Amino acid sequence: MQELDVSNVRELEDFLINECMYSGIVRGKLDQLRRCFEVQFAAGRDLTPDQLKNMIETLSDWLGTSDRLLHQIQEKIKWADTMSEVNKKHQKEFEDRVEEAKKSIKKLNNLSRQTLTYGGMTSFSLNLEE
């Protein structure tokens, strides 16, 4: 009951009958006086010697495929990390250029607000908004 995480005998009996006996996994008798289940038949899960070679080949293929997949995933992660660094560098360069452009525009804006007079001609004024 502990192994199956069942709290009472009735749940255990229901499990044995409905999940095990009806599905053909086991055949047997419930002995309520001795509180046990006498197994008369249990479906085997063992491989025959002929099946063993095929099972080893299948598992070896699976292992090889898994290793290749893991390698490909690791390569994709490296690529993604590299691209992330490149993107961060480009973003930083872009932000620096934007800041330089803002400073240049601010300087032009400050210069254009000053009135210049040359030989009787009055000024020009260039007003740029930030």
pLDDT at 117: 46
Query: What single DSSP character describes residue 53?
Result: H
**Alpha carbons 91 and 55: distance in angstroms, whole number:** 53
**Tens digit of each residue's pLDDT (9 = 90 or more) over 52-109:** 888 899 999 999 999 999 999 999 999 999 999 999 999 999 999 999 999 888 887 7
Given a cut of 90, is residue 118 above it in pLDDT? no
Portion of the chain with pLDDT greater than 90, in percent: 38
pLDDT at 121: 54
Whether 40 contacts 21, CB under 8 Å:
no
Which helix (H) or strand (E) is 103 found in, with range? helix 49-113
pLDDT at 130: 46
Calculate the average pLDDT of the chain.
84
pLDDT at 75: 97
